[in-house]
Amino acid sequence: MPARAELPPVRKVVVVGGGTAGWITAGVLASRFPQRGEDGFAVTLIESRGQPPIGVGEGTWPTIRATLKQIGVTETDFLRECDASFKQGSHFARWVDGSDMDAYYHPFTLPVGYEERNLAPYWLEDPRRQSFAESMCFQSAICGRALAPKQITTPEFTGLANYAYHLDAGKFGPFLQRHCVDKLGVRHMVDEIVRVESKDTGDISHLVTKSGEALAADLFIDCSGFSSLLIGRHFGVPFLSQKDVLFIDKAWAVQIPYPADDTPIASATVATAQSSGWVWDIGLTTRRGVGYVFSSRYMSDEGALEELKNYLGARGDLSQDLSYRKIDINSGYRREFWTRNCVAVGLSAGFLEPLEASAIVMIELSAKSIANLLPGCGGGMRQAARLFNDTFRYRWERIVDFLKLHYVLSRRTDSRFWVDNRARESIPDSLQECLEYWRDHCPWHEDFAHREEVFSAASYQYILYGMGFQTYPAPWLLNDRDRGLAREKMSEAARYAAALTGSLPGNRELLSKVRRYGLQKI
């Protein structure tokens, strides 16, 4: 074993890919290790103009605020330059029985009392209860009125309600690129990787570009999208398909102009179930992004396009000028994400489907984790790779369970797509066991192994009880003290909802003010 001083530290990183994954990863690393020059840290990002970024992915998770803050951009610049709006959760329509009345929220703000006690059992036993999200959280009331989560005087990245963003994916990468290159010293190359050269050990030694440049580095980050250039094509790490659990494998996407400059902007992603999948509807400041993700096993491309047009037609959004784009989705993830001196982030690592916007949050978590593990990579990367792979394999498995939950709880019988989604053989054992466990006990922190879960017990409560799942806690588990606390907290949530709905500006109104005046810097 060489002496410590001789061990090569990881100082040179090459990121392959200039989509959302590439720029977030480059930004997080470059901001965490800002020293450049001889003894410093160097990040190079290479992207190919011939293979543009996928250009979809407009819904995020509240973690994005901490990520943008870490990278060092201002919220005002981000909102202005990415046509971004505030997202406060998801609104699910027609998922339970397909009727007109069938709708519920999964808000980002935690249920009342969540930091102290599990109060869900007391909502369940209240015979006069409103929906779970309405009783246990003030945020559905805000979302229902398309209000913002903050005032113009609320400092950047903070809110009166928890929030994330909807953003223009085509503008987000270039926005981060300008900041990463101008402010963080990231070297940006436009060229195409045509060959990967290895050392005797099997590590990558350098990448060869079309223009003949050789790019050497200590660590290579594969953000090359679905082409999965390094982790897939070079290392041949197997892809674990999830298509037998999550049936979505195609999408039609379209951009819808607003009819007027003052059209309200929705505060949540609207996900409306269809016969063979669901339609996403996302409001930005300049347009809406709408798309139908569906399963080709149950629906032809033409049939799906027609269903999407029906959705648009019912809202008065159909016009001759719309241009529809078809996207293939290969649902699954790699068996491992970090192999030798290469780690995959973004679509190259995997993708499931856009339900609950789990892809960008996984990119953020990956970038943060790489930054945390890098200092330990001097003596070799085996331990860092093992830790990363264990954590992210767990995360992908949990996301599969959480997404599948939405389909398993549906009672729709109008198509084979919905019926087959409830077939026992398509449900992972881990999810089935949880569902049995949650018959007697409302989801809680201890039900999950990790401190940083992508979807916490709160998210499970919102989906389970939003979709009408019943838990039957034994009477001896309940007590009058917590019953009183639950009543008090639910009344508090109702009072807070009334106060906020009377005082918060509309999403559109606040975003227009941000354009004019900007938010208060922290």
| Per-residue contact string for residues 351-390; x = within reach of ligand FAD by CB under 6 A | x--x--x-xx------------------------------
For residues 336 and 393, is the Cβ–Cβ distance under 8 A?
yes
> Strand, helix or coil at 192?
coil
| Per-residue contact string for residues 263-302; x = within reach of ligand FAD by CB under 6 A | ----------------------------x-x---------
Q: Which is nearer to ligand FAD, 6 or 328 (by Cβ)?
A: 328
The residues, ordered by sequence, that sit 6+ positions from 216 with a Cβ below 8 Å of its Cβ are: 12, 205, 206
Instruction: Tell me the two tokens of residue 184.
Output: 């963080």
For residues 207 and 193, is the Cβ–Cβ distance under 8 A?
yes
**501 phi and psi, to 5 degrees?**
-65, -25
The tokens 């050497």 sit on which residue? Answer: 216
From candidates 27, 29, 47, 102, binder to ligand FAD by CB under 6 A: 47
Contact region for ligand FAD (CB under 6 A) — 15-23, 69-77, 369-377, 394-402?
Answer: 15-23
Find the shortest distance in angstroms from Cβ 92 to ligand FAD. Answer: 15
Distance of CA 393 to the CA centre of its chain: 16
**Can residue 208 be called a binding residue for ligand FAD (CB under 6 A)?**
no
Find the shortest distance in angstroms from Cβ 197 to ligand FAD. Answer: 14
The residues, ordered by sequence, that sit 6+ positions from 518 with a Cβ below 8 Å of its Cβ are: 76
- What stretches of 48-182 adopt beta strand conformation (E)? 85-87, 89-93, 103-107, 164-166
Name the strands in the sheet holding 42-47, side by side, starting at the edge strand that comes first in the sequence.
187-190, 42-47, 12-16, 219-222, 342-344, 338-339
Q: Which is nearer to ligand FAD, 167 or 434 (by Cβ)?
A: 167
Find the shortest distance in angstroms from Cβ 328 to ligand FAD. Answer: 8
Find the shortest distance in angstroms from Cβ 491 to ligand FAD. Answer: 35
From candidates 10, 26, 42, 46, binder to ligand FAD by CB under 6 A: 46
From candidates 19, 27, 149, 443, binder to ligand FAD by CB under 6 A: 19
Instruction: Tell me the two tokens of residue 141.
Output: 């009331």
Q: How far apart are CA 345 and CA 452, in angstroms?
A: 18
Q: Which is nearer to ligand FAD, 111 or 332 (by Cβ)?
A: 332
Find the shortest distance in angstroms from Cβ 22 to ligand FAD. Answer: 5
| Per-residue contact string for residues 209-248; x = within reach of ligand FAD by CB under 6 A | --------------xxx-x-x-------------------
From candidates 13, 15, 17, 87, binder to ligand FAD by CB under 6 A: 17
Q: How far apart are CA 122 and CA 475, in angstroms?
A: 11
**Can residue 327 be called a binding residue for ligand FAD (CB under 6 A)?**
yes
Size of the site for ligand FAD (CB under 6 A): 38
CA distances from 119 to 90, 137, 142, 441, 456 (A): 22, 12, 22, 11, 15
**Can residue 51 be called a binding residue for ligand FAD (CB under 6 A)?**
yes
Q: How far apart are CA 59 and CA 291, in angstroms?
A: 12
Q: How far apart are CA 422 and CA 410, in angstroms?
A: 8
Residues 415-454 that bind ligand FAD (CB under 6 A): none
> Where does this chain bind ligand FAD (CB under 6 A)?
16-22, 46-48, 51, 53-54, 56-59, 169, 192-193, 223-225, 227, 229, 251, 253, 291, 293, 327, 329, 346-347, 351, 354, 357, 359-360
